[in-house]
Structure formats: structure tokens, C-alpha cells
């Protein structure tokens, strides 16, 4: 397994030269943006002047539109190339460093059907995007994950009859799936416990009445119970999955991430969602990128989920499932 010291040596030997080169590309893009902005100023001022003279906003709109369009067509290909190079040369290398057997596809994502199958979020999806798909096998456990952004839309009509579409996030962050080390038939959900935190004893009553995901499973670990609400179609099987040691491990993982993680156990697989507000594994445009701290951040975000196999002890294969 990797550690900071080795990461530092990887950074110094491999990543630093690549980053300096990429940083030149980045600086080039920023310079071009500045230059285009500068070139646009005079025509825009003139067009504003004309607009005031003829009392029509059209010339200004045309000129601003044109300058934005030209800048976009000139700069976008450069940005795309920089983006691609960054993923290939930096992110791929960090993943290889964490585990050699993992494969990485920057532009692919976990299928929408998998996101729906995991059942953690039940809102209908109108737009599903994602990237940074990682897949592979760690000992006997196969894993896959990617960044996901799932949204639904609503439409509002204002007083003038114009309709507008609003996009709302259902989930944004990492969707992770791994082969679980025990076989099971029913589905078990480990969800963030909001009702019990807010309403205490009454919250538990409310949860019991919510039968959409099966029965509420009350586990014996009070700390776990205050963080999560567990639902399952089978009281015994859910406890077979959530052994006392796994409960402890999930709790410590939650503390480690400090995020509202949620899990589900479907068809002998484990699904996990880790919400993030930032876009993950993306290159920066403004500011120097030759910086070990950035690399460490990418590394930590990646290894957090890859090391989950160790954290949750999924390579222990002492049960009938091999």
C-alpha cells in the first residue's frame, strides 16, 4: 500500500516534470483568455457608443456575442487538450501508483442502471453525467467506481407565460461498488439517519412506519444507530451482512471521510455513495499546478475508496462465497 513518502518520490521523479509541462499549457490558455478579453474591449466600447446613438441594444449584443464565440472556439480546443493530458498523465499515474491492476477511463462512468439498482436515491433521474471511471480487482474482490452527478428537473412558468427549467441535484459525488464477501438474497440499505437525529424516539417511530425499503432494522450499536437507519427485507440476513465488526468498520469509515456516506447491499454486491460538493480529479485553470499538496489531495480522494476493501475487510473469504 502507498504512503506519503513514496508519493513524494513519485511526485519528484515522475509527476513534477509532467506537471511543469502541463503548467505551461495552462498558462498559455490563461494568457489567451486575457488577450481575447483585451482585444474585445475596444469593439465593445464602440458598439455601446453606437447603441446609445441609435438607441438600440443590438450592436452591443452582436459584438459581445461574437467575441465570446470567437474566444470559445479558439480556447476550448486548448482547454480540452490540457484537460485530457492532465487526466492521462497525472490522474492515471496516481491510480497506477495506488494499485497497478486498476484500469482507468477518464471519460466513462458507472452506468445509470447501476446507480438506480443500488436504490439509495429513489428520485427519478432526468440528467445523468459522470467521469473518471476506475475498475479492477483487488485480490479476490472486484471493484468499480466513478464520479457521478444525477439530477432531476422542474419547470416553472412565470406571470408572462415563459417557462423555465430548473435542475436539482439528486446526488453528486462518488458511486462505488464492490463484490461483497457473503452471498445474500434480500436488499439491505444503510442510510443517513435524519429522522432519529431530529426527533429522537419519535423519529424511530416514524422510520418504522416507512415501509418503502423493507422493515427498519435496529442494531445493537447505539453510535451506529444514531448515524444510520438500516432497512431490510430480512431481519436475520441484514444482521448476517452487518456483522458487529462490519458495523464498527463502517462507523470508522464515516468518521474518516466526515461525509454523509450511504450504503446498500444488493445482489451480493456492496454499493457506497460518498457525496462531494467539488468536482473530483479535475485540473485547475487558474493558479500554479506544480504543487505536491494538490497531488496529495487527488491521491487521498482516490485511495479513500480504493482502500475501502481493506477498511471493510472485503478480502476475507471464509464463508461459502469464494
Partner 1 sequence: MYIILGVAIGLAIIIAIMYNGLINRKNQVENAFGGMDAQLKKRYDLIPNLISTVQTYMKHEADTLTQITELRAKAVSGNISDEEKVNLDNMITSKLGGIMVAVENYPDLKASENFNQLQRTLNEVEEQISASRRAYNATVTSYNNGVEMFPANILAGMMKMEHKNVFEIPETQRENVNVGDLFNQ
* Residue ranges that bind partner 1, judged by CB under 8 A: 182, 217-220, 235-240, 243, 316, 318-320
Please say whether the beta carbons of 269 and 188 come within 8 A.
Answer: no
Based on CB atoms, which residue is closest to partner 1, 194 or 218? 218
Residue whose CB is less far from partner 1, 161 or 222 = 222
Strand partners, 137: 142
| Nearest approach, Cβ of residue 316 and partner 1 (Å) | 7
Furthest C-alpha separation in the chain: 84
In residues, how long is the chain?
322
**Least spacing, CB of residue 20 vs partner 1, in Å:** 46
**CB nearer to partner 1: pick between 143 and 230:** 230
Q: Please state the closest distance from residue 141 (CB atom) to partner 1, in A.
A: 15
Cβ proximity to partner 1, 87 vs 182, nearer residue = 182
Task: Evaluate whether 184 touches 232 at the Cβ level (below 8 Å).
Answer: no
158 or 220: CB nearest partner 1 = 220
CB of 218 to partner 1, least distance (A): 5
Minimum gap (Å) between residue 222 Cβ and partner 1: 12
Q: In this complex, which beta carbon is closest to partner 1, that of residue 100 or of residue 220?
A: 220
> How far apart are CB 318 and partner 1 at their closest, in Å?
5
Of residues 76 and 315, the one with the C-beta less far from partner 1: 315
Q: How far is the CB of 262 from partner 1 (least distance, A)?
A: 22
Which residues are CB-contacts of 302 (< 8 A; sequence separation ≥ 6)?
94, 95, 98, 134, 281
Amino acid at each position: 500500500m502507498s504512503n506519503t513518502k513514496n508519493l513524494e518520490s513519485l511526485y519528484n521523479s515522475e509527476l513534477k516534470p509532467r506537471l511543469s509541462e502541463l503548467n505551461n499549457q495552462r498558462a498559455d490558455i490563461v494568457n489567451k483568455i486575457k488577450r481575447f478579453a483585451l482585444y474585445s474591449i475596444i469593439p465593445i466600447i464602440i458598439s455601446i457608443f453606437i447603441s446609445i446613438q441609435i438607441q438600440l441594444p443590438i450592436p452591443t449584443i452582436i459584438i459581445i456575442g461574437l467575441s465570446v464565440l470567437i474566444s470559445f472556439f479558439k480556447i476550448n480546443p486548448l482547454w480540452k487538450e490540457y484537460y485530457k493530458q492532465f487526466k492521462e498523465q497525472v490522474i492515471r499515474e496516481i491510480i497506477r501508483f495506488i494499485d497497478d491492476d486498476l484500469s482507468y477511463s477518464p471519460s466513462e462512468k458507472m452506468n445509470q442502471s447501476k446507480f438506480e439498482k443500488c436504490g439509495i436515491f429513489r428520485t427519478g433521474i432526468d440528467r445523468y453525467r459522470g467521469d473518471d471511471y476506475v475498475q479492477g480487482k483487488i485480490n479476490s474482490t472486484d471493484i468499480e467506481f466513478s464520479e457521478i452527478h444525477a439530477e432531476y428537473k422542474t419547470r416553472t412558468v412565470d406571470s408572462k407565460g415563459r417557462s423555465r427549467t430548473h435542475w436539482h441535484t439528486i446526488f453528486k459525488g462518488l458511486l462505488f461498488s464492490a463484490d461483497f464477501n457473503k452471498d445474500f438474497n434480500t436488499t439491505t440499505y444503510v442510510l443517513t439517519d435524519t429522522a432519529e437525529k431530529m426527533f429522537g424516539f419519535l423519529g424511530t417511530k416514524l422510520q418504522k412506519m416507512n415501509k418503502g425499503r423493507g422493515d427498519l432494522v435496529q442494531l445493537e450499536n447505539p453510535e451506529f444507530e444514531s448515524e444510520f437507519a438500516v432497512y431490510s427485507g430480512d431481519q436475520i440476513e441484514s444482521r448476517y451482512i452487518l456483522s458487529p465488526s462490519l458495523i464498527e468498520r463502517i462507523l470508522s469509515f464515516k468518521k474518516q471521510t466526515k461525509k454523509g456516506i450511504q450504503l446498500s447491499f444488493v445482489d451480493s454486491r456492496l454499493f457506497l455513495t460518498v457525496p462531494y460538493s467539488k468536482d473530483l480529479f479535475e485540473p485547475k485553470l487558474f493558479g500554479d499546478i506544480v504543487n505536491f499538496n494538490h497531488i496529495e489531495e487527488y491521491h487521498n480522494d482516490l485511495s479513500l475508496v480504493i482502500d475501502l476493501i481493506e477498511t471493510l475487510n472485503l478480502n476475507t473469504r471464509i464463508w461459502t462465497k469464494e
